[in-house]
Structure 1
Amino acid sequence: DRFAQRYKAAQEQLQTWKQAKREAEHNSDQAGVQKAEHAIKEAGEAIDELDLFRKNLQSFVRSYEFLSQIISFDDPELEQLCVFAKHLHPLLRVDRLEQDEIDLSELALTHYRLTKHQEQRLPLEVQEDNADYSLRPVSEVGSGKPHDPDKKPLAEIIDRLNDLFGAEVSDEDKLHFAQGVADRIERDETVMAEVNRNSPQQLMHGQFPQRVADIVLDAMNDNEKMSMEILDNKEKGKDFAMLILQLIAGRQDGSVSAGAGQR
């Protein structure tokens, strides 16, 4: 709740001062322009700080889940923190901040289950040919930097894809899958006509989610794993349909290019 309030307040400040800057420029008020630019910078930094917190939260979960398979931390509180952070991160998505508040007062962690998917040997020894380790260490959690504003929409899409599909599939493969669905949607003139004349909320209550599901069915042979996750989970299917809308909008305004990738 505090995250949502701070994020919303920072966004409102950003919009307010952008408007103030436009008015100052119109009135040739140089002092007003400088004051507005300073406030815009502060609001932008506040938003970047919150975005970075969300990113670091996910980085902690991924690092802990990986390392805990190799090292026994024997720390129940650290395990509880990881579980809490893992469930908190999806709630901090920007598109969910405006949704109705969920009452978690009676929610309590009573138990958890670890499922063994596979077992394999991790070669950690030094390689003779290049004197390097086979397993590269994770980067320092919390050392990340705010995203480049020009790449931020794409980064947000990748974060959404990670929420939907987890870390088992690479970012490039997940983005390629989503880009392919968006490509097919854009080739459908009837659907694009609806996209261009309706709001995202209206589209999500219409036939758009079903059209996305139809295209996912067409792509099932090449993307079976992700396709089944969307088709078997109605809520995840709706989330993915909303993501596709964001991807199309990003292409139309130039913030996301077709076929773009990110590592």
Structure 2
Amino acid sequence: MACTRSSRSISRKGFGANSVKLDGSGHYDDFEVERVAAVEMNPRAKQGDLIAAIEPVADRLLKRYKAGQERLRSARERADDVGASDAQDEINALVLFKNDMAAYQRAYSFLSQIFDYGSSTIEKRFLFYKRLTPLLEFGREREGVDLSKVVLTHHNLKNEGQRRLDVSERDESKLTPMTEVGSGSVQEKERARLLEIIERINDLFGADTTDGDQLSYVNTLRDKMLESDALFMQAANNSAAQFANSPTLKEELMNAIIEAFEAHSSLSKQALDSQKVRDGLKEVLLGPAQLYQYLRNRSNDHFPGAAT
């Protein structure tokens, strides 16, 4: 597959906008990120070190949320519309902050299969958000932070090249340092598939959304379409070419776009407004996103004698 842009360009685009937004929220600083990352990377760190690093941040944000709720209740009792609006805005901002951290983690989970982020700020923020997000149980009345979710499992960022775990190889003696996984491996095929999705989706959507958001969107659409009994039956009884020309496929794609609107409003709006984008999405879903193959595999589980 030919790539029209460098891997570095794609990887930066995948996180740039979201990182700037999260950093600009004012809910944490670089010292707090570095402190959590340092604990994760230190093989000698203890559970207490991680708690000491992450608890102050979570406690501060939980108190901000609780204070916002109290201001909102007070303003409503006084019929203070302006005060109530300000308090609600602060509450919404904290909820959005948590959602943005979750989105960052999803993007990282996708793109880390393709790019080696090493000990970069991208990796450190992922570690920080991963620890902070589950502690922000907004709206649950309790004193202090629920630290039962804080369990230290060391994250080693030692640079050992591009080596990744190959589940198809059981013999550990075959793994040698600084050797890339072979081009025929499961990891390389997955990497090529994700890169193809990125390249093709980038041609459909503008620069306002990240690669991670676009990958997540494609997977969301595919998962929703996999729930369609009509598509399931058509995939079971038709060839890939026949399936691609099915009017039901276009209808179910439109239904999936509408259902995904709340979680992916910007991308769904572009898809709803453009037949070209919808056609491009269909090609990606039938191509590297492997919608037909997923449906066929599901049909083979139910109907072992299904036509091929």
Q: TM-score, normalised by structure 2?
A: 0.35
Q: Which one has a bigger Cα radius of gyration? A: 2
- Larger relative contact order (Cα-Cα within 8 Å, sequence gap ≥ 6): 2
